[in-house]
Amino acid sequence: MDNTILIKNGHIIDASQGLDGVGDILIKDGKIKSVKREGSGVRSQEKEQKLKTQNAKLRIIDATGLYVLPGLVDMHTHLREPGFEGKETISSGTMAAVRGGFTSVCCMPNTDPVNDNETVTEFILRKTYAEGACYVFPIGAISKGQKGEELAEMGMMYEAGCVAFSDDGHPVMNSLLMRRALEYSKVFHVPIISHCEDLNLSDGGVMNEGTVSTFLGLSRMPAAAEEVMVARDIILAELTGGRLHIAHVSTEGSVRLIRQAKERGIRVTAETCPHYFSITEEAVKEYNTNAKVNPPLRTERDVEAIKEGLGDGTLDVIATDHAPHHRDEKLREFDKAPSGISGLETALSLSLRLLHDGVLTMRQLVEKMTLNPARIMGLRRGTLKAGSEADVVIVDAKREWKIDPERFASKGKNTPFHGWALKGMPVMTICKGKLYE
């Protein structure tokens, strides 16, 4: 970036430096040049004038009344490329990311071909370099073809740039394979991200097992299908000392198991997604395929437990599980429609409801969407420290808006939040030297 940006008078929150107060941020050549807090030498008018004379292209952004945060980090995104470009591409997905305030996303390997070898990893990185609006960090598959039978070439993929391993979309049913993956995670210092689902228990179910499924006559997956795998993986993490991260936590029982494991000092981290603390299985009524997601939407009790888990630190991260699908696929009968919610462009606003409802402080919220995912994935992101990439999002926590998927940059218009009126949104994202507003 050959121009200079001065963001003035914003409420800066940066957990990596313990910053929580009004100040200015100066960006130069795509890097954070300095962060000055109010009362600690905030630029005087004279200094500002000097900056203007030195930088013909100086842009000044008045962020009075707005939050200025490190660019958000999503550790669970489906970008669909290669193979499913009808659902999303690296270009459209990363544009959706910056629109949603994200400057780094980690993409899941359930593409076609599966990202289970370095050729696919390199393809994703090359495509991102050419077309990506934000940074993309690939996640490699644990097993070849995500079939759960044979370990993929984790070492080669790590060398090529994979930052974690996961068979997301599918569980690793074979416990020995999961044990080996966790052992390797120690060698490469990367997390193993587990999609927790016992396929025998979920038995082809398409929604949560409960009163709504009985009412609708749809096949069901019990909470236990998730929880037995959370329990298994915690046991394997204890056995191996490997780095376990539990993806998309949706049930009260999972929260309890993770809390207990953390109390016992087992190395486990966990994420949930906005849909698991915003809506329940009731959203599936009328056979709404846009509310079909895996794991499925649960009950009010689970929603409360998820919020509690976020509040007490059991759940470290809010991830999107951005899972775009083509409109025609979601128009199929409920049983046949694919699972997933397009989440990048609604995640921050839905999460801000937790702030408005007093569930989380802004600082906790920022940690769960920046520093915590960056740390778990080993990324030098989620910080505004001088010298780091100028990944910044400016947030108006008061601005009211309505969700309209037709306005998404994502190709995936599949959201159960269509028409929701929300308070708070990202108003500007700065990434890779570009400003999106």
Question: Where in the sequence numbering do the catalytic residues fall?
Answer: 321
| Binding-residue pattern over the window 198 to 227 for ligand DOR, x denoting contact by CB under 6 A | ------------------------------
* Nearer Cβ to ligand DOR (111/269): 111
Whole-number Å distance between alpha carbons of 178 and 189: 16
DSSP symbol at 217: T
Structure tokens of 431?
């990434």
Site string for ligand DOR, 281-300 (x = CB under 6 A): ------------xx------
Residue 109 binding ligand DOR, by CB under 6 A: no
Question: DSSP assignment of 285-317, as one string?
Answer: GGG-GGG--SSPP--HHHHHHHHHHHHTTSS-E
Least Å distance between CB 69 and ligand DOR? 27
Rounded CA-CA distance 230/252 in Å is 12
Question: Residue 16 or residue 339: which is nearer to ligand DOR going by CB?
Answer: 339
Cβ atoms < 10 Å from Cβ of 246: 29
Question: What are the residue ranges of helices labelled H in 161-295?
Answer: 175-188, 199-202, 211-216, 223-240, 252-263, 274-278
- Candidates 206, 323, 360, 431: give the one binding ligand DOR (CB under 6 A): 323
CB of 296 to ligand DOR, least distance (A): 9
Select 4 or 342, whichever has its Cβ closest to ligand DOR: 342
Among 4, 92, 94, 110, binds ligand DOR (CB under 6 A): 110
195 binds ligand DOR (CB under 6 A): yes
Closer by beta carbon to ligand DOR, 180 or else 325: 325
Of the pair 110, 314, the CB lying nearest ligand DOR is at 110
Size, binding site for ligand DOR by CB under 6 A: 11
Tell me whether residue 55 is exposed, middle or buried, using C-beta atoms within 10 angstroms of its C-beta: 0 to 12, 13 to 18, 19 or more.
middle
Identify the residue among 10, 23, 109, 340 touching ligand DOR (CB under 6 A). 340
Q: Which is nearer to ligand DOR, 100 or 416 (CB)?
A: 416
Contact between residue 100 and residue 410 where contact means Cβ atoms under 8 Å apart:
no
Q: Closest approach of Cβ 23 to ligand DOR, in Å? A: 39
Token pair in block for residue 229: 């795998």
Q: Using the rule CB under 6 A, is 339 a contact of ligand DOR?
A: yes
Extract the tokens encoding 255: 């929260």
Rule CB under 6 A: choose which of 8, 28, 78, 275 binds ligand DOR: 78
CA quadruple 160, 161, 164, 168: dihedral sign:
negative
Count helices and strands (H / E) in the chain: 15, 18
With a CB cutoff of 8 Å and minimum separation 6, the contacts of 407 are none
Which residues does 364 contact at the CB level (< 8 Å), separation at least 6?
Answer: 310, 311
Candidate list 71, 109, 140, 169; residue touching ligand DOR; CB under 6 A: 169
Give me 165's structure tokens: 């391993």
Binding mask 120-159 for ligand DOR (x = CB under 6 A): ----------------------------------------
Contacting ligand DOR (CB under 6 A), which of 14, 88, 118, 168? 168
Residues that bind ligand DOR (CB under 6 A): 78, 110, 168-169, 195, 293-294, 323, 338-340
